[in-house]
Amino acid sequence: MVDLPTAGERARATFATHNGEVEHSGLVLPPSAPKHITIKLDNGYNVSFPNEALVSWEPLEASAAMSTTTPLVATETTSDDLPRVRLIHTGGTIASKVDYATGAVEARFEPNELLDALPELASFARLDAVKIGNMFSDDIRPQHWNLIAAACADAFAEGCRGVVIAHGTDTLHITSAALNFAFAGKGERPAGPVAMVGSQRSSDRGSSDAAENLLAAVQWAANGPLPVGDAGDSVVVVMHDTSSDGVMAVHSGVAVRKMHSSRRDAFQPVNAEPLAKISNSHDGWTIIPLPWYDEARNTAGERPVNTVPTTYETGQRIAQFIAGPWLHAEHIEAVANTGIQGVVIHGTGLGHLPIDDPQNDAPENQNLWRSLVRCMNRELPVVIVNQCIHGPVDMNVYSKGRKQKSMGLLGHGVNSTPETITTKLHWALSQNLNIADIMTKNLCGEHRERLME
């Protein structure tokens, strides 16, 4: 049997198949299955063959196309007429490469590499970049929201027309909600467009969505309408509209959620429509606001520009629970006793909890009711969000909901995503606001009069 190449080597390998021998060149990855050889081709796609199919192989020199250390030369624009846009770099898949020795994806693109990899960006805007970190988004915490918001404010203070934030997708919708409240929660708005962007596949994969997403986000920052704040447009999310290339959706940062772990159109609006579409065709890039957004902008009240965004108290602790057969009083009590500042429960249906015992055979339901009453007595806010994702929390329909309202549980009338409402609770606690009063108010487009599917 032929000796096998080592993961991380570039090789030209010949394999025996049913249709004769085939030859492939590329970077050897850790095998995708036991007793297989996996090679990443220079076009970005992978091929795998059983070990016994390997006829021969020879080593190749490292390819500049696949090198992770080749320096890139920054592209400079010569036109001072273009709008100035700043890229704020936090990491995530859009800023990731494959480590070809291990096969793992790591967040390690530098911001200038993102810009250099797409020279056509120079025809959109005068670009510069600020690096906050190279983090996957599951590691981002409220202190990072504060850093990102401050970096956006600095960009506008230094003359930028818009801002693009490169961010991992897993919590992108949470950060987008946090930034909306930071800039617009108190009746203000950012000075210009702020577009958050990510990708579902790393930038060096053949199927990556990073390039089109980034190009569209820069288009929005450079040429999109100025935010009004009332329409949830203070900070938007720009990602693929469908699995196909060519059209990107611009979503309200307080009305969008990641709904799929791997599809390129993973981000979908909840109880809402996108603000706009951005198309890429032979005729160039076109921003197409949806009719409802045009109407919302025309009827929006005048908001002052927020030059100093509000911040999040990093010491706040909010506990989350899921209503259902496994939720018990001791769970609430154990966490409440740690000194948390708020509780969010993902309720079933219209926002219901298992707190009734109509057949006298579920005492744990009564115990849960008593535990929640104790939370009310402690003045610990408990907010109900919608486990169904789409649709409102409406505690007026069933007697169960009316009982919850009479207990003092909050959340009736909210129709935003669970993540947006939880972020809003954190923001309101950080500003020392009256939680019962503020949760159902529409501060920056998080609640909508008309629900869309």
Query: What pLDDT digit, counting tens, does each position of 329-380 carry?
Result: 999 999 999 999 999 999 999 999 999 999 999 999 999 999 999 999 999 9
DSSP state at residue 5: P
Q: Which 3 state secondary structure label does DSSP give 279?
A: strand
In a domain, 135, yes or no: yes
Q: Which pLDDT score, from 0 to 100, does residue 387 have?
A: 96
Domain annotation covers residue 126 = yes
Q: Which pLDDT score, from 0 to 100, does residue 135 have?
A: 85
Same domain, 278 and 154: yes
Q: For residues 235 and 175, what is the distance between their CA atoms, to the nearest angstrom?
A: 10
The backbone region for 246, taken as left when phi is positive above 0, alpha when psi lies in -120 to 50, beta otherwise, is left
Would 313 be classed as within a structural domain? no
Identify the pLDDT of residue 100.
Answer: 47
Q: Which amino acid is at 131?
A: K
Query: Which residues in the chain show pLDDT less than 50?
Result: 63-78, 95-96, 100, 102-107
Q: Which domain holds residue 32?
A: 10-60
Helix, strand or coil for residue 142? helix
pLDDT of res. 71: 30
Residues 6+ apart with CB under 8 A from 268: 251, 256, 257, 259
Asked if residues 60 and 25 have their Cβ atoms less than 8 Å apart, the reply is yes
Q: Is residue 397 part of a domain?
A: yes
CATH number for the domain spanning 384: value is: 3.40.50.40
**What are the residue ranges of helices labelled H in 91-190?**
111-116, 142-157, 172-184
Question: Is 100 a domain residue?
Answer: yes
Q: Are 382 and 413 in contact (CB under 8 A)?
A: no
Q: Can you read off the two tokens belonging to residue 72?
A: 């890139």
The answer to whether residues 117 and 265 belong to one domain is yes
182 φ/ψ sector (left φ>0, alpha ψ -120 to 50, else beta):
alpha
Regarding whether 171 and 266 lie in a shared domain, the answer is yes
- Residue 29's CATH number: 2.30.30.520
Q: Mark out the alpha helices in 341-417 (DSSP H runs).
A: 363-377, 399-407
Whether 177 and 292 map to the same domain: the answer is yes
- Answer for the pair 53, 17: CB distance below 8 angstroms, yes or no: yes
Active site residues: 93, 169-170, 258
How many Å apart are CA 194 and CA 156, to the nearest integer?
Answer: 10
Q: Which residues contact 187 (CB under 8 A, 6 or more apart)?
A: 229, 303, 304, 443
Question: Is-above-0.95 flag for pTM?
Answer: no
Number of residues that this document lists for the chain: 453
- Name 354's Cβ contacts closer than 8 Å, sequence gap at least 6: 323, 324, 325, 327, 362, 364, 365, 368
In a domain, 453, yes or no: no
Residues 218 and 284 in one domain: yes
Tell me, yes or no, whether 451 lies in a domain. Answer: no
Q: Confirm whether 379 is domain-assigned.
A: yes
* Unique residue bearing structure tokens 């009736």: 412
Indicate the number of domains in the chain: 3
Amino acid at 230: D
